[in-house]
A and B are shown apart, each in its own frame.
Chain A
Amino acid sequence: MNHPDRLLSFLLFCCSLLPFTAATAQDTLAVDFTSPVNGRDLRLVTGVYHDEDEAFNMQDLASLPFENDTSVFHPRKRPLYHVNNIWLKLTIKNTGAADTSLWFFTGYHDEMEWFTPDGDGGYHSLVRTGLMTDNGNVERWGHYAFPVKAAAGETKTYYLHIVNHRYRENRLMPVLYDALHYAEHRHQYADHFKKEALVIQILIGMLLVLLCITLINYTQLPDRSSLYFAAYVLGLIIFFALRLESKPFQLSFFHYWPMLKYYWDIPAILFCFYLMPLLFGNIFLSLRERFPLMERCYRYGAVLCAVLIVLFLGIFALGEYQVPAMIYSWFHMFSIIPLGISLFALARRTRHHPLIRFFLLGSLSVFLLSLWSFIVHREPVGLNSIQELTAPNYIILLGILAQAMFYAAGLSYRNKLVHQERTKTQEMLIRQLNRNKELQRKLNEQLEELVKEQTTEILRKNQELEEQRKLQLDVEYSKKLAEIELKAIRAQINPHFIFNCLNSIQLFVMQRDYEHAQKYLSDFSYLIRKTLDFSRRNFISLADEITYLNTYLGLEKMRFEQKMSYEIVIDPVIAAAELEVPAMLLQPYVENAVKHGMTNTDHSCGLLMIRFNELESDMLECVIEDNGIGIERSKALRSMPSHHQSSGMEISLNRAELLNKMYNTGIQIEIIDKSSKQASNSGTIIRILIPQL
């Protein structure tokens, strides 16, 4: 209940009784300026011209048909559907004895100008003020009472031009005060609005705290719904801060820009109670996933709101302040049902989603409380939905606060959910990570094992290979050795010789010469046996070697009968049984010598001489000498028809080398053609030096 208003009404009522009795003339007010004047009602003495077409200006004042029309005045706020452009005329006579001034007050209006005739047909503007134009600080509220000055007995005329653009007009009552009572009235006004201002400031403070919390939260957990909520809160803060601008004698923040409160009035309502909640709800409830249809509706609604906001701002810029209000009224009327449906639909799904409850409660609180406020509001503002916000009504403020709180709580809850989700995800991640680590460890182990296995495998294979190679080398070596040995055996006993021996034995048998056959056969057997025996040994005694050579030469002699003879001479100092010679070293040379000796046609008989000498204490010399054609001629003869080489001798040479290598024996073999020393001589000398160990 507006206390000062009631008081004021009462006073006005009391005062208004006076003019009817005291006024002498309707047009001129006679007042004793010195007597106290406390809110004297001037409705009946104020000339009114209602300029509906805004066609007049100051110059036409004299011709204006001012009349006494009390219908333009009203003690409370009232809705306005057109621009209210009125001219007031006050003619006043000072009946008192002193020159003093009184104050003429009509209320707070958008544009006001106070002027008086300057005496030469023109007019003199005294004060210009108005909610839309005055950008002074708190002192601007003093401009709304206009001074009425008149000398004693003087009659003065004043004009007041009032223009109201908005959809709502503040109280319009012409009242007169003396200075003292005007001050009292001012204090009453200031006190009256202090309460409202305080509530708004508290609300702004709370909203600022909410804004800060939300922004801090946003930095912690970037989420679009937080941003929308922050925008909603910021819009509310500015809206209410601008509301303070229209509270007389109260602290204001934006008085430098008096037009701001008009621009951010209906757009703010659209912004804060439609656009942002729709966007906020969309993201906050994740409608896109849950209710795609509702998401689409909200989105289109938001787009419509945004378009309307831009449209309204444009219309304001054109100077029209009532059209947006009317459009908004209709918009509001038509939005109630779809909003109600959407809230109902959401309410049915509360169970599915805990966040819906917060959104629903927030939306419903402002929705229902504004409805309640509409019902209980007693200001005669007509059936215009705007009224619910025109005067800051505590019910409405409560609704707004509740909405903000519910939204904030919802956001926190959502953050909690997100946090929980995140924690769960993190836990899962950690679990996964641990599992991965475990897996990695296992894999590593497996890999290591595999590497180890393979390494050992490789090593093993390497070793195997090495062994195999060694084995192969061994095998090859022994094979080679065996081959050489075999070759040596073959070389030692010429197969030709063997078969010729057998041939000879056959002949003796056929000739029935059994004695010879017997002799030949036993010698041959001895030779073969010794050959097999010696071939297994590397060294034999010289005595054995001599016996062997004797047997061999005996057999050869038997083959060739008288065509050859031989002699073996041993130095008597030689202990034949003790000296060691390489087995079968000499035999190939002896065989060769026999062959060469037989080929010389100059001699009828081949002569072979074998001598063993001790050159030094540890050096055995063996000389095999024949009287054949000599090695040079033999070679020449042989090389012609075929490419025969004395394989026996060659192998013997190889064998000497091999022995030298193996036993470090240092055997030297020298082959001398006798003809190279003395031309008349022929034959070959083989000189073999065998060092004794």
Chain B
Amino acid sequence: MIRAIIIDDERNSRDIISLMLGKYCPEIEAVGTAANCREGIEQIRRHKPQLVFLDLEMPDGTGFDVLAGAYDASFEAIFVTAFEKRFLHTIRLSEVELILKPIDKESLLQAVGTVMKRIGQQQQHERYEVLLSNFGKPESDVRQLVLPSSEGPEAVISIDDIYYLEGYTEKTVFYLPDGKVMASRRPFRYYTELFANMRFYQTTNHQMVQVPHIQRIDQEQNKLHLKGDIVLDVTDRRKRELVNIWKQG
């Protein structure tokens, strides 16, 4: 049995989660509940759960505050929220699980399944550290990214290191310094949204470069010269905008 704690400021929510867990996830046992952050941290310390359902918005803080107060890399967390755009970026960078209220069976099962797999494999992962390090920073200031690879362990990379990324049908490839290449199973579209307000610029339909890494723009031939002798194409239409952005940068 997996021991779980539900932290939510609304009793209705707590009830519904435990109700659904009892109904659809019999392997999870809710060992405690909490209505605010303070109580939540206490509960975690007391029960040492393997899984925590965390409401993001609570009267005395956010779910991240709970995580920061109690995290010792011994439990996995599933975040629950009614409507929260504010933390979506942070959550996506770290590849942590998020369920939206009202909770439906499929998303609950999917999140629980993912987390159960991690618990089963005893994967120790720094995704929560990444989450906490990015938390509270404006979008353009985050530094770290978790790459969910299609095979093998997930990796943490520094966003500053990304020269450019390229989309393929089933994956997205990141080009890093010293010719290093890493792949994510997320689609290219996922990252274009994620990086939309950062220092990235989409040069073609399947390529996105990090602007500070551009060394030269060959306006006649529509070529970009990046660090590490990388030469990329840029469409004529986007070139002009890119030049402006690049010059401002």
Chain A residues within CB distance 8 Å of chain B: 494-500, 502-507, 510-511, 559-561, 595, 598-599, 601, 637, 641-644
CB distance from A661 to the nearest CB of B (A): 29
Instruction: Provide the bound-state CA to CA distance between A500 and B55, in Å.
Output: 12
A496 with B64: CB separation less than 8 A = no
B61 interface residue (CB < 8 Å to A): yes
CB distance from B68 to the nearest CB of A (A): 9
B13 with A637: CB separation less than 8 A = no
13 A-B interface contacts by CB (under 8 A): A494-B83, A495-B82, A499-B101, A500-B13, A500-B101, A504-B12, A510-B16, A560-B10, A595-B59, A598-B59, A599-B59, A642-B86, A643-B136
A642 with B101: CB separation less than 8 A = no
Which A-chain residue is minimally distant from B13 (CB atoms)? A503
Chain B 189-215 residues near chain A, CB threshold 8 A: none
A641 with B82: CB separation less than 8 A = no
Instruction: Provide the bound-state CA to CA distance between A643 and B135, in Å.
Output: 11
Instruction: Provide the bound-state CA to CA distance between A561 and B13, in Å.
Output: 13
Chain A residue contacts of B83, Cβ below 8 A: 494-496, 498-499
CB distance from B25 to the nearest CB of A (A): 15
Q: Which of A502, A511, A643 contacts B101 (CB 8 A)?
A: A502
Instruction: Provide the bound-state CA to CA distance between A502 and B102, in Å.
Output: 6
Chain A residue contacts of B238, Cβ below 8 A: none
A510-B16, A599-B59, A599-B60 as given contacts; A503 in contact with B65, CB under 8 Å? no
Instruction: Provide the bound-state CA to CA distance between A511 and B82, in Å.
Output: 20
For B, the interface residue count at a CB cutoff of 8 angstroms equals 24
Chain A residue contacts of B62, Cβ below 8 A: 641-642
B19 interface residue (CB < 8 Å to A): yes
B73 interface residue (CB < 8 Å to A): no
Chain B residue contacts of A560, Cβ below 8 A: 10
Chain A residue contacts of B88, Cβ below 8 A: none
A507-B16, A641-B61 as given contacts; A496 in contact with B82, CB under 8 Å? yes
Q: Which of B20, B65, B101, B102 contacts A641 (CB 8 A)?
A: B65
Q: Mark B235-247, 1 if CB is under 8 A from A, else 0.
A: 0000000000000
Chain A residue contacts of B45, Cβ below 8 A: none
B60 with A637: CB separation less than 8 A = yes
B57 with A506: CB separation less than 8 A = no
Chain B 8-42 residues near chain A, CB threshold 8 A: 10-13, 15-16, 19-20
CB distance from B21 to the nearest CB of A (A): 12
A503 with B16: CB separation less than 8 A = yes
A507 with B60: CB separation less than 8 A = no
Chain B 87-103 residues near chain A, CB threshold 8 A: 100-103
Chain B residue contacts of A598, Cβ below 8 A: 59
Chain B residue contacts of A641, Cβ below 8 A: 61-62, 64-65, 136
B61 with A503: CB separation less than 8 A = no
Instruction: Provide the bound-state CA to CA distance between A495 and B57, in Å.
Output: 13
Chain A residue contacts of B11, Cβ below 8 A: 561
Q: Which of A502, A504, A507, A595 contacts B19 (CB 8 A)?
A: A507
Q: Mark B74-90, 1 if CB is under 8 A from A, else 0.
A: 00000000111010000
Instruction: Provide the bound-state CA to CA distance between A560 and B12, in Å.
Output: 9
Instruction: Provide the bound-state CA to CA distance between A104 and B90, in Å.
Output: 159
Chain B residue contacts of A559, Cβ below 8 A: 10, 12
Chain A residue contacts of B100, Cβ below 8 A: 499
Instruction: Provide the bound-state CA to CA distance between A484 and B242, in Å.
Output: 31
Chain A residue contacts of B103, Cβ below 8 A: 503, 506
Q: Mark B106-149, 1 if CB is under 8 A from A, else 0.
A: 00000000000000000000000000000010000000000000
CB distance from A563 to the nearest CB of B (A): 9
B59 with A499: CB separation less than 8 A = no
CB distance from A55 to the nearest CB of B (A): 112
The 4 closest A-B pairs by CB, nearest first: A499-B82, A495-B83, A599-B59, A506-B102
Which A-chain residue is minimally distant from B58 (CB atoms)? A599
Chain B residue contacts of A502, Cβ below 8 A: 101-102
Instruction: Provide the bound-state CA to CA distance between A643 and B136, in Å.
Output: 8
A561-B11, A641-B136, A642-B136 as given contacts; A503 in contact with B82, CB under 8 Å? yes
Which B-chain residue is minimally distant from A596 (CB atoms)? B59
B10 with A500: CB separation less than 8 A = yes
A496 with B10: CB separation less than 8 A = no
Chain A residue contacts of B65, Cβ below 8 A: 641
Instruction: Provide the bound-state CA to CA distance between A67 and B59, in Å.
Output: 178
